[in-house]
Amino acid sequence: MDTGYDYITPEFLNLIFFQQNSVVIFPYLDLKHLHSLEIFAIGYNIVDIDATAIHNIIELLEHESYNSYSQNPTVFFISNIARDQLQKIITLGSVHCVINLNENIDNLPRESNNFVFYNKKSKKFLNFDVENIDLSFETWLIKSSQNLSILHDKILKIKSIATRLFTEINENADIKKLIEILSEYEEKYWDKIIQFTENFYEIKFPKLPRVRISSQSTEEESLNEFSKEYETIIKSNQNISVEFVRALDEYRIQRVNPANLELMELYNPRKLYCYLRTHHWEQGIPEEFIQDWVSMKSSHYPLSESDRQDFLSLFSKLDLPYANIKFPTNDKEQLIPSLDDNNENIRNEKPKINVEVTTTIPSVQDFPLFKQWIFKKLDKIELRLKSLKN
């Protein structure tokens, strides 16, 4: 029994996407399984044709092939076609199709290089030598995709890379820039991407030296270094790390062109930090950002002495400049009574109703300060009780 997944294979990915060939599958195949191959027709408008409902299918294909006003070319998914119709379609040089017909055509002449025939019963290609084709890239793309949506996105990315290559060739043909674009993939996969670019855009790709502009290992090493910095910050102090993430996002909004960011860099703080360290903060985190960070502009959290020490320890670990950094004044500390209050004055005060001090209670997270505040309150309560007895 057929399923659509039977045709999500490296061979069909190679033929339809990379080589831009037309494919003929026989005998009968359910339409929903035939259309599973649309995933390999990235960059095309899909036109579905039932040959039993159209009497002039050859004229239609000729017209659509030569007179399409769409920005994207067309691939035709044709079903229920007859043998004699197929023979005429094969003679149309510019048409791009995925065809299914009911009858067996093992003995059909196959002079065309653009059409590849597949017998679904024997699961064999009639004019495509699978063993002599390197399908490692196609195999990797399919096996590393957990579902069809992920596979679609990976194929779409290759199409996007090819568009950038095509644009660069038309504008400058800068060899260094072409290598830089290709370097998003391992060098062993470049030939397949170039093959797709040449076939889809019908251009001749310039010969490239096989040297990566920036090796993947070097890039990963750099990202690992910045990831370690990020981890050090995040694990240092909860309030400090929360403010850091918010400050990163604010910097992105104010200073970074979103068009230069990938989706994960937009919404993943670690990825965003690595991007900034690579493209904006090559010499280290700037003092201006550090000042905004310690000012706790987003969370408005009042820093305790312990928090300040955590900041200073973090600056030392990351070798950050902090000589000119000013910590914000903690208003809470100014409002808390000092330990050398004149107890005599308190004792002589006349009792008042609702005389509770409205001083803001220190955070429990700064336990030494909170403990000091509690003891001071207890002392005051004791003095007031004594004064009432007198």
Find the angle CA(345)-CA(350)-CA(351) to the nearest 5 degrees.
Answer: 120
> Model confidence over 199-219: pLDDT tens digits?
999 999 988 876 555 444 444
Sort residue 98 into left (φ over 0), alpha (ψ -120 to 50) or beta: beta
Find the angle CA(25)-CA(154)-CA(148) to the nearest 5 degrees.
Answer: 55
> Model confidence over 57-74: pLDDT tens digits?
888 887 776 655 567 888
Q: Is the pTM of this model over 0.75?
A: no
pLDDT grade, residue 352 (50/70/90)? very low
**Number of Cβ atoms within 10 Å of the Cβ of 185:** 17
The pLDDT value recorded for residue 236 is 86
The pLDDT value recorded for residue 339 is 37
Percent of the chain with pLDDT over 90: 34
Find the angle CA(318)-CA(220)-CA(154) to the nearest 5 degrees.
Answer: 135
Q: Identify which has the larger pLDDT, 322 or 2.
A: 322
> Model confidence over 17-59: pLDDT tens digits?
999 999 999 988 888 889 999 999 999 999 999 988 887 888 8
Distance, CA of 9 to CA of 133 (rounded, Å): 14
Average pLDDT, the chain: 81
> Model confidence over 129-177: pLDDT tens digits?
888 899 999 999 999 998 899 999 999 999 999 999 999 999 888 888 8
The pLDDT value recorded for residue 353 is 36
> Model confidence over 284-326: pLDDT tens digits?
899 999 999 999 988 888 999 999 999 999 988 888 877 888 8
Q: Identify which has the larger pLDDT, 255 or 347.
A: 255
The pLDDT value recorded for residue 328 is 87
pLDDT grade, residue 385 (50/70/90)? confident
**If we measure between CA atoms, which residue out of 156, 153, 162 comes closest to residue 201?**
162
What are the residue boundaries of the structural domains of the chain, listed by start? 4-133, 148-201, 216-318, 332-389
**Structure-block tokens of residue 170:** 């038309």
The pLDDT value recorded for residue 165 is 94
User: 74 - beta bridge partners?
Assistant: 45
The pLDDT value recorded for residue 211 is 57
Distance, CA of 377 to CA of 384 (rounded, Å): 11
The pLDDT value recorded for residue 73 is 87
> Model confidence over 95-117: pLDDT tens digits?
899 999 988 887 776 666 689 99
For domain 4-133, the CATH class is: alpha beta
